[in-house]
């Protein structure tokens, strides 16, 4: 798959250019290859081409793939909505969860992680835009959830995540990215120590340059690496 490695090179170039534009270091941006609908063989190719972090959105699909790829030392990120009754799978298989959105889910994850003898890095998903159909906790409640998550020993709170509304012009997403960063600064000043919120997961294929300019440390990129999803 020379195409995949070419795509990855192009994404890295876009990251470098975005970083140059705002005085940031590309080494501070974690590129997560989003592999929903992507077959294990292609994921292996992407790993060979230097992608170490992979993001999956659906528990059922991820279970098969993470198992099939157990030999490669990849880092698995769960980026889809997670129901409490599926928390055990994420606790068992994933390294990072980007979508913590309730105390109930946090407690159940912690319980499952304790019985697995594991820890899980977690980011709180914030519904910055307030869209009804979107998951994530309201900005006003994020501080409480961050405090709660920070008390659970097997959860390693590390940041915030958001998905802005869909826009055809990526610049329109910038205010939502900026809002996530200000929320982080606010919570770090009054709710939890700042080092527990050092990561900002924001930006996808269409808008990651804007996210980087607003402080993203993790970008989640599917289409630009693996092509259009069917």
Ligand X SMILES: *Cc1c(COP(=O)(O)O)cnc(C)c1O
Binding site residues, ligand X, CB under 6 A: 34, 36, 57, 79, 163, 204-206, 220-223
The dihedrals phi and psi of 14, each to the nearest 5 degrees, come to -60, -40
Closest to ligand X by CB, 61 or 116: 61
SS3 217: coil
Point out the residue whose Cβ comes nearest to ligand X: 222
CB 199 within 8 A of CB 159: yes
Helix (H, G, I), strand (E, B) or coil at 201: strand
**DSSP 8-state symbol, 126:** B
Q: Which is nearer to ligand X, 98 or 112 (CB)?
A: 98
Q: What is the DSSP string of 133-156?
A: T--SB-HHHHHHHHHHHHT-TTEE
Instruction: Find the shortest distance in angstroms from Cβ 151 to ligand X.
Output: 27
Closest CB to ligand X among 26 and 206?
206
CA–CA distance, 138 with 101 (Å, rounded to integer): 9
Give the separation between CA 134 and CA 95, rounded to whole angstroms. Answer: 24
**Which one, 17 or 151, has the nearer CB to ligand X?**
17
């Amino acid at each position: 798959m020379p195409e995949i490695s070419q795509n990855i090179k192009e994404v890295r170039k876009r990251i470098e250019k975005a970083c140059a534009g705002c005085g940031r270091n590309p080494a501070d941006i974690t590129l997560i290859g989003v592999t929903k609908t992507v077959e294990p063989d292609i994921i292996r190719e992407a790993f060979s081409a230097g992608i170490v972090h992979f993001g999956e959105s659906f528990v059922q699909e991820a279970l098969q793939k993470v198992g099939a790829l157990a030999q490669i030392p990849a880092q698995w990120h769960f980026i889809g909505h997670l129901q409490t009754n599926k928390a055990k799978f994420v606790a068992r298989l994933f390294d990072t969860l980007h979508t913590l959105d309730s105390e109930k889910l946090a407690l159940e994850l912690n319980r499952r992680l304790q019985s697995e003898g594991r820890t899980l890095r977690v980011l709180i998903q914030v519904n910055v835009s307030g869209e009804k159909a979107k998951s994530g906790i309201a900005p006003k409640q994020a501080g409480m959830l961050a405090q709660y998550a920070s008390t659970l020993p097997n959860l390693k709170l590390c940041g915030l995540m958001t998905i802005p509304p869909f826009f055809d012009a990526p610049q329109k997403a910038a205010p939502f990215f900026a809002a996530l960063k200000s929320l982080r600064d606010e919570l770090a000043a009054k709710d939890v120590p700042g080092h527990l919120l050092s990561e900002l997961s924001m930006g996808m294929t269409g808008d990651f340059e804007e996210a980087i300019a607003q402080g993203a440390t993790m970008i989640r990129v599917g289409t630009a690496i693996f092509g259009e999803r069917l």
